Amino acid sequence: MWSCAWQGGGHVLTFVGLGLYDLGDIPLKGLECIRKADYVFLESYTSRLSGASVDEMAKYYGREIRMLSREEVEVDPEPVLGLAEEFQVAFLTGGDPMVSTTHIDLRMRASRRGITTNIIHASSISTAVCGLSGLQNYRFGKSCSLPYPHRAWMPLTPAGVIRANRERDLHTLVYLDIREECCMTIPEAVNLLEDMSERSGFSIPLYVGVARAGSESPVVAAGDASRMREIDFGPPLHILIVPAELHVMEKEYLEMFAGL
């Protein structure tokens, strides 16, 4: 029987992955650690459980959950690290904790202060998209994040990543912006990427969109920009893939399960 690594004392920071969608996705190891923790923190700007509210999570885990902003994780994580020097602290994230470089940085900061750290892994969108889309895992290149434009600011970095990957015949996983008040949708992302690619002098012939991975009824659809704009993908979370040239098996899979 697995047991929490911190049962002997405090000054432990454990990164707990919550999985993809709802309360049922958390590993048993993670649930045990949360229920034994002195303090529980949650960040929801890199990912979140769209199938469960924070209140539902707190009730299910039986613990008070303290929400963290981006600044409290990336710039001034003292509230987390200060407590972890004396107590057992659980740091919760949607998906798998160490997919985000933000969390890697936080673990390194903790280690420099002599805080013991542990990781409890969970299912991640970066692998789930392969099963849902049929796109082969080893053919994915560098991923990118797609932010909402801010006034006249629209970075072309995502277009550059996609173009470089396609030149190497690699797929691109595009993480869509998550904000407090809204989450980017697949049609919004397609519109932004169409504009970016036009400015960058290339075209994107095919997209694959995935909505609510990990739920009982995820939506997966493939097509060009016009088709993706017409599809109702429903509530978040959404994620987008820009494929390279399709292998025959990938094409057949998308035809069977994504309406290509």
Strand partners, 95: 19
User: pLDDT-derived band of residue 197, with 50, 70 and 90 as boundaries?
Assistant: very high
pLDDT tens for residues 111-161? 999 999 999 999 999 999 999 999 999 999 999 999 998 877 778 999 999
Residues 111 and 131 in one domain: no
Find tokens 């739920």 and name the residue.
215
pLDDT at 34: 97
Tokens of 203: 């075209």
Asked whether the beta carbons of 133 and 210 are under 8 A apart, the reply is: yes
- Domain boundary (82, 98, 120) is at 120
Tell whether 113 and 151 lie within a shared domain.
no
Residues contacting 68, CB < 8 A, separation 6+: 41, 42, 43, 79, 80
Quick one: pLDDT band at residue 101, thresholds 50, 70, 90? confident
| Whether pLDDT at 7 is above 70 | no
Q: Are residues 95 and 169 in the same domain?
A: no
Residue 64 tokens, joined: 């008070």
Structural domain total, the chain: 2
Whether residue 146 is found in the same domain as residue 71? no
Interatomic CA distance for residues 78 and 70, integer angstroms: 13
Domain contains 2: no
**Domain ranges, residue 16:** 12-120
Q: Looking at the structure, do residues 111 and 132 belong to the same domain, yes or no?
A: no
Q: What is the mean pLDDT of residues 61-84?
A: 92
- Check whether the bond before 28 is cis (ω within 30° of 0): no
Select from 66, 92, 120 the last residue of a domain. 120
Q: Is the pLDDT of residue 65 over 80?
A: yes
Question: DSSP labels for 55-72?
Answer: HHHHHHHTS--EEE-HHH
**How confident is the model at residue 81, as a pLDDT?**
94
Residue 5 confidence class, pLDDT cut points 50, 70, 90: low
Residue 37: give its domain's CATH number. 3.40.1010.10
Q: Which percentage of the chain shows pLDDT scores above 70?
A: 96
Are 149 and 251 in a shared domain?
yes
Does 244 lie in the same domain as 130?
yes
Task: Tell which of 120, 151, 178 closes a domain.
Answer: 120
Tokens (6 digits) for 246: 């399709």
* Residue 3 domain flag: no
What is the crossing angle of helices 54-61 and 28-36, to 10°?
80
Cβ contacts of 51 within 8 Å, gap of 6 or more = 21, 22, 23, 212, 214, 215
Asked if residue 195 has pLDDT above 60, the reply is: yes
> pLDDT class for 4, splitting at 50, 70, 90?
low
Distance, CA of 84 to CA of 209 (rounded, Å)? 39
Q: Taking a C-beta distance cutoff of 8 angstroms, is the pair 189, 146 a contact?
A: yes
Burial zone of 138 (CB within 10 Å; 0-12 exposed, 13-18 middle, 19+ buried): exposed
pLDDT at 1: 46
pLDDT in tens, 12-53: 999 999 999 999 999 999 999 999 999 999 998 888 899 999
* Mean pLDDT (the chain, rounded): 93
Q: Which residue has the tokens 């002599």?
A: 114
7 φ, ψ (degrees, to nearest 5): -65, -15
Q: Are residues 241 and 136 in the same domain?
A: yes
Phi, psi dihedral angles at 117 (to 5 degrees): -125, 145
Does 191 lie in the same domain as 82?
no
**End-to-end C-alpha distance for the chain, whole angstroms:** 46
Which position has the token pair 């970016």?
196
Do residues 93 and 47 lie in contact, with contact meaning Cβ atoms separated by under 8 Å? Answer: yes
